[in-house]
Structure 1
Amino acid sequence: MSFFHTKSVAQLHADSENSNLNKDLGVMDLTFLGVGGIIGAGIFVLTGIAAAKYAGPAISISFALAGLLCILVGLAYSEFASMIPSSGSVYSYTFASLGEGMAFLTGWSLLLGYTVTGSAVAVGFSGYLAGILKSYGYIIPEVLLKTPAEGGIINLPAVIIILLLALVLIRGTEQSAKLNTALVFITLAAIISFICIATPHVEMANFNPFAPFGVQGILSGTAIVFFSYMGFDAVATSAEECKKPERDLPIGIILSVFICMCLYVAMALSLTGAINYTDLNTPEPVAHALRILHWPGVANLVAVGAIAGIITTLIVYLFGQARIFFAVSRDGLLPASIGKIHPKYHTPYLVTIIGSVTIAIIAGFVPLMHIVELSNTGVLAVFLLNFISLWHMRRKHPEAPRKFHCPCLPVVAVVGVIVCGYLIYALSTLTHLLFLGWMVLGLIIYFAYSSKHSMSSKEQ
């Protein structure tokens, strides 16, 4: 049965070698790709909202817990990436270990994660842009900043930035990586500036209570902020565009997650220490905090850095989503025509356009927190399956060449599965039902179309 038919490591290598994607990315590009994908909306948007609604000042612990889980995920990713340097990240890994059907559902979940997370990031861009313009006397009408459910018409800035970045990505991976690296430097400067300014204003009274919502609040906060780290997955999706994927991918994945975890914790502590967590329920909490602290000029500069960070995150999510689409369509599980490579720019332009338009529609018409929770469910489910896939791969194909070995795999896998499972459980029932509906739709598509057009099943 094709649902459980696996793809050999050799075939995945052949697919990688035969693709027409440019191999332009080195270890520095990959690290900045990961950092750029992680430190955008999470650090500049979700830090305040998650503190106000879920964990209070203990949101710093939530970020640390989510980061530690992602390091475990990153270790598993790194072994797979050193063995299977193929676009599609967990989709390709699952195809080699658990079979075509599970791979399709994994790719289907990743598409959900990239799509809705990219939408959430775009909403953060809109909030910061509106804040900067307002400080200079230019007011964007509320109806153009809010979704219909929030009393508006459309979140227009979010839609515009997504479509503009889609054009950049279509032009080429190397150009996108250079833009991403430049914007990451601006973002890091903004983060460091805020920490230096806010730290002297920290008052211990703001840390009392440190965990107003208790342990459950910390864990719920972890489940909510988890999407902030998702950008490192895009490093794995870039495998076919790396100069030396077996060496560079593990370094880029682990390094980017560790750097960003440290930044998240430092930002969360300085933000909630300087401003009471109850005042941080805003889509631009960092700039809002600086205005409260009477640094309005710096607030605008930091907001520019925040916008740079949000743009880098959007670049990474649009990039990752397109590569997942590309990998799935190349295998025939989605129409192969949508995975066409541009004859001049050598990028998967059709899937970039389709994915970007979808993200823009969600960003323009769906409220932020609904987006975040649904994204986290899909990503956590994928990461849970990744631990199982790697353990299975070790047992099934111990002979496959690996230049990186996940240390203490049985322990890492069991802990990872338990933590991912609990964080999924901690999300709302509505989110569970929506994700279940997405999976049912995926199964319908698989059995109605994918299983009949699969390139792998035709080769059997």
Structure 2
Amino acid sequence: MNYFRKKPIQLHQSTNSSSLQKTLGGFDLTMLGVGAIIGTGIFVLTGVAAATHAGPALILSFILAGLSCVFAALCYAEFASTVPAAGSAYAYSYTAFGEIIAWIMGWTLILEYGFASSAVASGWSGYFQGLLAGFNLHLPKAISSAYNPSQGTYIDLPAIFAVFAITVLLIQGVEKSARLNTIMVIIKLSVVLLFIVVGVGYVKPDNWTPFMPFGFSGVATGAATVFFAYIGFDAVSTAAEEVRNPKKNMPIGIVFSLLICTVFYIVVSAILTGIVPYTELNVKDPVAFALNYIQQDWAAGLVSVGAITGITTVLLVMMYGQTRLLYAMSRDGLLPKVMSKVNPKTKVPTLNTWITAGIVAFFSGVVPLGKLAELTNIGTLFAFILVSIGIIVLRKTQPNLRRGFRVPFVPVIPGLAVLFCGYLALQLPKTTWISFVVWLSIGLVIYFSYGRKRSKLNENEEKQELPAASNK
């Protein structure tokens, strides 16, 4: 049996006449990207990264993490314009490397999108409860956070509520989801701009000294931490089959959304550490905390509302990406067929979406946020590395392929993506690596026991072998 059989691009294009509805344009994709990127990272992780890892050099951490993503984003843009199919890096790997590598990539993306969605839902719960506390309303401790009996918490009920609320929206159809996402993105960008306008006048350059209190190793660890803030632009590529002109619009959505968010991150981190001494930023709501610190409580309240809105859009896009990934893998026969059944009215894989909701709700309800973020990071970095290598491979194996967008300076740019992402992956804890290896092992067991036999490519091979055998 050939485990490295490749899915031809022509076959991707023939399945592209799927029952998913083509309604998205370049602006929609850019808004999806911004919706997925600006959220937990800017509203939650900036403070922890500054206080415990990078200090004022958090700016450099964001630049380092951003460079890793820019190089990888260019590779995603070329693949997305060449293989415009649902499934993102999974579909690209099927074309560049073959089935077993595609399965490993798909299984890794299930980890990325699933745990990212759970982590974001957990962060949403924290901000939501903070907003309630402002009105002197408090949930019972037992249902306020993930499972930790020593602290009296057993389940994060608000996180579970957020997941199912987003699911109800997703099953209405991609056009309605994208429209609401755009509205929420405009709200959260307005809030970030408000922070910049209000905060810039309170910046004290003395707070930037010492600039690099933990050395460059602190900057690198900070980059690995805030890398979570950039996760999301790759989810844009899962929308390929619902885009009107993917060869043109996919690169626009991926690259533009990443560049917009990188600029915002650098400016916000500079103002944040300029307003508040970095030693005081180890809080769960650093942006609102900074505004309270300078006694701009009215703006802090608006930021809290904007943070909830921003985190909601991240959850929306991440769960959307997970459902389209499962749809693509199911259509190829590697997962049960039920995952690719589409509602004829809404053009949405409805049952798939509810299954995703159940899994995400479980993990967001019982697993602590820190563990979820680490597992998400390693899954994403692995995906970025494999996609970047795939560009080099496809340039060698299919040099004449029509590409809507071409990565410049190949193999230098993909090589830099591999180096940057590999370096950040090595900064993650040993326990995260062990968990990742266990996850991949479980995935391989599922592939060899289920996917390889039911793969559509395997079925095609068997059909071709039968006539050949009968002619002998």
Same fold (TM over 0.5): yes
How many Å separate the matches in 2 of 1:127 and 1:58? 26
1:63 corresponds in structure 2 to 62
129-138 or 109-118, which deviates more: 129-138
Residue by residue over 1:29-53, the C-alpha shift from the partner in whole angstroms, topping out at 9 and shown as x without a partner, is 0000001100011111111122222
How many Å separate the matches in 1 of 2:15 and 2:283? 45
1:5 corresponds in structure 2 to 5
Residue by residue over 1:229-250, the C-alpha shift from the partner in whole angstroms, topping out at 9 and shown as x without a partner, is 1211111100000000000000
Contact map agreement 2:338 2:352 (CA 8 A) in 1: no
Q: How many residues are paired up? A: 459
Relative to the length of structure 1, the TM-score reads: 0.97
SS in 2 for 1:171: coil
1:46-445 correspondence to structure 2 within 5 Å:
46-149=45-148, 151-445=152-446
Residue by residue over 1:392-420, the C-alpha shift from the partner in whole angstroms, topping out at 9 and shown as x without a partner, is 01110112111211000110121111111
SS in 1 for 2:16: helix
Task: Check if 1:38 corresponds to 2:37.
Answer: yes
Contact map agreement 1:62 1:225 (CA 8 A) in 2: yes
70-79 or 208-217, which deviates more: 208-217
How many Å separate the matches in 1 of 2:352 and 2:211? 45
Residue by residue over 1:261-283, the C-alpha shift from the partner in whole angstroms, topping out at 9 and shown as x without a partner, is 00011111111211122222222
Cα drift, residue 144 of structure 1? 2.6
SS in 1 for 2:159: helix
How many Å separate the matches in 1 of 2:460 and 2:262? 44
How many Å separate the matches in 2 of 1:435 and 1:98? 21
Residue by residue over 1:189-237, the C-alpha shift from the partner in whole angstroms, topping out at 9 and shown as x without a partner, is 1001011122222222322222222111111111121122121111110
Q: Which runs of 5+ in 1 are unaligned?
A: none
How many Å separate the matches in 2 of 1:199 and 1:179? 30
Q: Which runs of 5+ in 2 are unaligned?
A: 462-472
Counterpart of 2:417, as a letter, is G
CA separation of 1:125 and 1:249: change in aligned 2, threshold 3 A = same
How many Å separate the matches in 1 of 2:24 and 2:278? 40
How many Å separate the matches in 1 of 2:419 and 2:434? 21
Counterpart of 1:139, as a letter, is H
Contact map agreement 2:69 2:417 (CA 8 A) in 1: no
SS in 1 for 2:3: helix
Relative to the length of structure 2, the TM-score reads: 0.95
Contact map agreement 1:2 1:101 (CA 8 A) in 2: no
How many Å separate the matches in 1 of 2:291 and 2:144? 22
Contact map agreement 1:48 1:282 (CA 8 A) in 2: yes
How many Å separate the matches in 2 of 1:455 and 1:89? 18
1:459 corresponds in structure 2 to 460
How many Å separate the matches in 2 of 1:351 and 1:56? 43
SS in 2 for 1:408: coil
How many Å separate the matches in 2 of 1:127 and 1:195? 23
Counterpart of 2:16, as a letter, is S
Aligned identity (percent) is 43
Larger Cα-atom Rg: 2
253-262 or 337-346, which deviates more: 337-346
How many Å separate the matches in 1 of 2:419 and 2:129? 41
SS in 2 for 1:192: helix
How many Å separate the matches in 2 of 1:152 and 1:48? 24
52-61 or 262-271, which deviates more: 52-61
